[in-house]
Amino acid sequence: MPSVVETHALTRHFGDVRAVEGVGLTVEQGEMFGLVGPDGAGKTTLIRLLCGILAPTSGTASILGHDVVRKPDLVKREIGYLSQRFSLYGDLTVDENIEFFAEINGVYDYKGRREELLGFTRLTPFRTRLAERLSGGMKQKLGLACTLIHTPRMILLDEPTTGVDPVSRRDFWKILQSLLAERITIIMSTPYLDEAERCSRVALMNEGSIMKVETPAGLKREMTGEVLELVVDRVRDAFRILKGSPLVLEVQAFGDRLNVIVEGAERGAPAVTQVLRAAGISVVSSRLITPSLENVFISLLTHNQNGRAA
């Protein structure tokens, strides 16, 4: 499969801030590629570099064989970009917004394509409604329709479902799956690790760098140890005690639950329970669970931070 995206040592600094640092990536045709990381990880900056909105401090990036700095016009013809705050015009209707974005992309025979996209996004009943009167989920679907009006071969989505209600989020994902069936390549950033599970591959980002690129299943296989989920009556105290215990490899807190990583659950579970009960902490429940991407991400982050500290 041909690579539609290639970056080499791609870097972008804003003064002393290293927003993106030495990123090397390849994305294949027809992939849904996820950029995953916390706020400030560099996801938005990386997407803007790929779109040609920002120029790199150093390094290179090419889209569909076109250098994003040297041939920005060729790149823009081939891609669609949906930002976190898509610039819809509130005083224009759904129809008028699509018409406007069609014309600025040089698409003048757009009416058939508009009908197709309205049906695709289920916005046909709302075509005469002003954009400012749409719900958050509808605005994102309209933004996607405007992004697709010129039939791009690749789309870049920057946290497209942030702040969207669960039903609209589900609908949005159905639309993305339909686009994949048409062999459109999708690169999307997301803070939601459950969304990353749907991607063919994910890049885990932190502080401008990529820690790991792998399939979701491959990342889970690389998790060292087994994960115990504990429900206890004093989470903070239990976390502090287990964090310093040689019995465990790692401890992660998730609300009222602890994920405790041990070498083997058969021996580790009783030993961990015994340590907590000896400290007067009640263990309400304990079970072995399959590692999640969140477990993997936190583990990688912890190891990276420990390595820098050392």
Tens digits of residue pLDDT in 2-18: 689 999 999 999 999 99
Residue 310 confidence class, pLDDT cut points 50, 70, 90? very low
Mean pLDDT of the region 225-232: 94
Determine the pLDDT at residue 78.
Answer: 92
- The answer to whether the 3-217 and 224-290 domains have the same CATH topology is no
Mean pLDDT of the region 158-167: 83
**224-290 classified as CATH 3.60.110.10:** no
Tens-place pLDDT, residues 241-253: 999 899 999 999 9
Secondary structure of the chain as H, E, C letters: CCEEEEEEEEEEEECCEEEEEEEEEEEECCCEEEEECCCCCCHHHHHHHHHCCCCCCEEEEEECCEECCCCHHHHHHHEEEECCCCCCCCCCEHHHHHHHHHHHCCCCCCHHHHHHHHHHCCCHHHCCCEHHHCCHHHHHHHHHHHHHCCCCCEEEEECCCCCCCHHHHHHHHHHHHHHHHCCCEEEEEECCHHHHCCCCEEEEEECCEEEEEECHHHHHHCCCCEEEEEEECCHHHHHHHHHCCCCCCEEEEECCEEEEEECCHHHHHHHHHHHHHHCCCCEEEEEEECCCHHHHHHHHHHHHHHHHHC
pLDDT reading at 141 higher than 70: yes
Give the CATH architecture of domain 3-217: 3-Layer(aba) Sandwich (3.40)
- Domain coordinates of the chain in residue numbers? 3-217, 224-290
Tens-place pLDDT, residues 171-221: 888 888 888 988 999 999 988 888 899 999 999 999 999 999 999 999 988
Determine the pLDDT at residue 67.
Answer: 95
Tens-place pLDDT, residues 79-111: 999 987 767 898 999 999 999 999 988 899 999
Residue 306 confidence class, pLDDT cut points 50, 70, 90? low
